Structure 1
């Protein structure tokens, strides 16, 4: 068993890792750097993420404040150059960092361009919602001395929107997340304009920030043709917002791979048909989250839209509410229709379906479990079909790099199909063959003839 520190088990959860990282800021920083390196080297976290977020209340180390950011800047300067030479993400979610500290953080990120991702979600300090400090006699006297009768003028306070605008303008971030922060309309406008104007930013998450359709329009209106890869725009979606996403945002962002429309706001009812219809012709979108909404839409159109989609791989419906007809339509999209023709082919692309926990007394439990079981069987079938396709492609590529130049791809697919339900063999073929092919190709280059 891997050990950490004085006989402790190596922390692998985000919460435990984050506590160690924040603790290390008060020490020499070595434990945090060692932990980050170990977790990355062992493949526990495929991204090199510096976890300084505060994920839960009651955390022993407590959230980072502006004073903690000063220590963090020093930690980054000392330890980041010693970490593996790969892109780095910095997680500062759930802390109490104010706009004032973002200037020093921006300067730090400018000096360390390997840090390409920044997470500032759930930061109370950015929205002025920090707990009030207890009143003391000294504070009361100070307030008296700086009363409105004083001729001294207070310095204009730096807003979160302006601080984030400066940060995005001076750094080379590719990913930026500020979800679950109740920004003012003025701050939201500045942040959206800065995100659209950033030449490097391609992943942007501003979910649960009460965005409107007019505000989201900035993302595609300011810089047409910007190559977004991920957008998080979840909110209590109004129909105008849904129509804008379906008719303008999705057609204008053909490079988009992931779209998060999930929300934690209550009483959000979402007609999913416009969005799913827009995805029929989208070339890249593989992940869609509709979590937290009350889902509705014509059952027949829902089935047709999902059957026609050949790209979407993950659909997140967690925390959603849906009626029996909606769930049946979802299930029908994953199985053959009665006509057994081209139009009734099931969806074979979806390989991950995250369903909600049903608590509707009008939805019989037996029926819920039956539909959920049919969905699970269909998704498992899709995963195996996808794995077979990858194995056939890998088999073809591996053979093509061999001296006898390989077999046609359809024949490779037929050979892989003979493996049947032996998923282990198929998975091994999908991963081992390309590696062997690459080694063989490299050997032939080094030793001609």
Structure 2
């Protein structure tokens, strides 16, 4: 079976750096931070004081307020980002093509805010006062479901839940749907709204989050003094399209998606496998799928969570996969500016990957001040780099041992 070529024709985003893709990208390249002091639950006194909120997000800009009230915040993000991505792609969805347009949007934990609010209502006033929209607002697949309803996309409609790899897995899965000919267009990425009391409490108890009280420096991937990730929220959405479809309608093409690798560690519920063994296999799979040699990759958008083991093992994994080229490879973690959007991380980082290709700019790793002898590669410290970017690999790793690598390259006829 001939594999169809698949390209990116639209992007949309709601992030801690901005409520659209262009604002987010412009601030990212300038090295600006989207992190802020936690004010939403100030009285709770969490050990982690810094988060990365999607600021001034108004769902009524994108949807009827009545519809918005029936959606959790993570779903609102997904609908908003998808509407922007479809508009950016200049894509019309109607009776002539709706059955060939699918949606595949992942979320790591879904509607946590809805769950907490409704459980408190149940405890206080009993089951009769629990909202009839409770379940359809909470479940992780509802981002994909509501996007399908809003846009009238009647092709495959799915959601991958693989913790912090959810967005990347969803993009990879959507890529394969088009590649095998089951759809012409996929609206895909990730969405997450985890800045809630229970999510903060859980990650704090797991000692996974930074306790640095300074929003400017709390997220410091690959730096020797890193002490945990900073929780973020938002959504990143790509429009993937078969090359035939894109050319037929004269669509603008950002880049070509050409490789997808996904593996399991079979090791531990939270810790990565030693030496990044699972990540190594995912990256090798992705490169093989793309038909690219390691030395053809210009830039690696790392998972780079600013945690001790992730950054160390991801560095080892890069050395294993790329060999001598690892020391010539530009690597950065954009989480230094966006925080960690959990299941949405792979969505926005795929978006950053295609923008890097389109604009020949590599985003920096901010707050890189003290080199770690165990993290000794080129992390593009503190300033964006302007250079030719021909191919990018983006990695996402999740609790449960999920490893994903997506490969993108410049589009050529």
Q: TM-score range by the shorter chain?
A: 0.3 to 0.5
- Whichever of the two has the greater Rg, that structure is 1
Structure that is richer in helix per residue: 1
Structure that is richer in strand per residue: 2
TM superposition score normalised by structure 1: 0.30
Q: Report 1 or 2 for greater relative contact order, CA contacts < 8 Å, sequence distance ≥ 6.
A: 2
TM superposition score normalised by structure 2: 0.32
